[in-house]
Amino acid sequence: MSIQSLIMDFQKFWAKQGCYLAQPYDLEVGAGTMTPDTFFRVLDKRPWKVAYVQPSRRPADGRYGENPHRVQKHFQYQVIMKPSPSDIQQIYIDSLAALGIDLQDHDIRFDEDDWESPTIGAWGVGWQVMLDGLEITQFTYFQQAGGIDLFPVPVEITYGVERLEMFLEGRDNIYDLNWSDDVLYRDLRFREEKEFSEYNFNHANIGMLRKSFQLHEKEAQQLIQKDLLLPAYDICLKCSHVFNLLDSRGAISVTERVKLIGQMRNLVNQIAQKYTSGESSS
């Protein structure tokens, strides 16, 4: 029982459902939803099925390696299916069975939890999936992104890899998880959590980050004018991560927060609009 065997089980399972297995995106993102394999692909009308692991960074969640279940980087297993299959809930339940969980012995609940991201003009309807009281998955039918009604409707399933593995191994501490038979999560991630918490909270250079945000914002703006939407979007992701770092440094006042989020939303909405209006040379 290990994280890597969990990932392998998922890869096999979702490949069998017809998903293309993407590799993790190579930029810092806050969630699997933000990578191009989700963001762009849900916008258009073409069918799309993809599954991938995405390392996700939330600088403010760092706890110097001292909290048994909060970390500033975790792994999501992200699935997108468009259009949403009519039996997707059953497929999801089967995916848990594929990990060896016998649901006859457990309590699985789909609790109302609608998702919204004003930054990318997106919202969806769905649930947080609770397994014996543990939140293991966000399950969302996307309705809008970039301010655009999505059709066909994509369904997004985002599993928390560490959460699920803690459930499977019955552990109380994330660092005790097995990554493989002989490598622990602690061996791979403990020092990283400690040092990055130190960086995120105390050492990230605020002046440099502020400047960097504005430079990137300008760059993205120019790329949008040139219809280079994919690079423009990458630059938006950089802005977003820089914003999160500034936030964890406690450097963003309330008015500034509104302003910076507004700048990002503006960029992302322009990209989404251009992408769907067919102006881009896709």
Partner 1 sequence: MTEFLLEIATEEMPSSHVKTALVQLRESLVAELLAQKVDAGEIKTYGTCRRLIITGDLASRQEDSEEEIIGPPKAAAFTQDGSPTPAARGFAKSKGVDVQNLEVIKTDRGEYIGIRKVEKGIPTKDLLTEIIPRIVSFLSFPKMMRWGKSSFRFSRPLKSLLCLFDEKALSFSIGGIPSGNTTTGHKIYFPQKIRIKSFPDYKKALRNKKVIIDPEERKRMILSHIERKISPKKAELHPDDELLESLIYDVEHPYVFLGSFPEEYLDLPLEILSTAMREGQKLFSVVRGKKQLPFFLGVADAYKDSKSLIRKGNERVLKARLEDARFFWTQDLKISLKGRSKFLSRVVFQEKLGSYEDKVQRLKKIVAYISDKIEVVKEKKYAIAAAELSKVDLLTEMVREFPSLQGKVGGLYAREEGNPARIWQAIYEHYQPVGLDDELPLSVTGVILSIADKLDSVVGVVGIGIKVSGSKDPFGLRRYAQGVCKIILEKKLSFSFPRLLDKVINVFGERLQEPKDLLKKYCQKFFSDRLRYIFERQGYRYDLIDAALGAGIDNIYYSYLRLKALDNLKESAQFAPAVLVVKRVNNILRDQLPYKINPELLMEKEERELYTTFCIIRDNVLPLIAKGDFTKAQRIIFRVRSTINDFFDNILVMVEEKRIRRNRLALLQEVSKVLNLVADYSRIVIEG
CB 6 to partner 1: min, Å: 17
From the list 125, 188, 206, 261, which residue makes contact with partner 1 (rule: CB under 8 A)? 125
Residue 48 CA to residue 39 CA, distance in Å, equals 12
From the list 23, 170, 202, 278, which residue makes contact with partner 1 (rule: CB under 8 A)? 170
Which single residue is written with the structure tokens 């309705």?
143
From the list 11, 27, 64, 110, which residue makes contact with partner 1 (rule: CB under 8 A)? 110
202 binds partner 1 (CB under 8 A): no
CB 125 to partner 1: min, Å: 4
55 close to 140: Cβ distance less than 8 angstroms: no
From the list 23, 86, 202, 281, which residue makes contact with partner 1 (rule: CB under 8 A)? 86
Name the strand (E) or helix (H) holding 103: none
Residue 247 CA to residue 210 CA, distance in Å, equals 11
109 binds partner 1 (CB under 8 A): yes
Q: Could you give the string, one character per residue 139-168, with x where binding to partner 1 holds by CB under 8 A and - elsewhere? A: --x-x-------xxx-x-----------x-
CB 47 to partner 1: min, Å: 9
Q: Is the dihedral of CA 11, 120, 147, 271 positive or negative?
A: negative
Three-state DSSP class for residue 146: coil
Residue 274 CA to residue 276 CA, distance in Å, equals 6
Tell me which residue of 267, 266, 220, 213 sits closest to 243, measured CA to CA: 213
Residue 20 CA to residue 9 CA, distance in Å, equals 15
135 binds partner 1 (CB under 8 A): yes
- In this structure, what are the phi and psi dihedrals at residue 80, rounded to the nearest 5 degrees? -125, 130
Residues with Cβ < 8 Å from 182, sequence gap 6 or more? Answer: none
Please say which residue, 99 or 108, places its beta carbon nearer to partner 1: 108
Please say which residue, 133 or 207, places its beta carbon nearer to partner 1: 133
CB 229 to partner 1: min, Å: 26
Written as six digits, the tokens of 278 are: 């067919």
176 binds partner 1 (CB under 8 A): no
Beta-bridged to residue 178, according to DSSP, are: 184
Piece of 11-19, 80-88, 188-196, 213-221 that binds partner 1 (CB under 8 A): 80-88
Per CB under 8 A, which of residues 20..59 are in contact with partner 1?
none
Binding site for partner 1 (CB under 8 A): 67-69, 83-86, 89-90, 93, 103-112, 114, 125, 127, 130-135, 141, 143, 151-153, 155, 167, 170, 172, 253-255
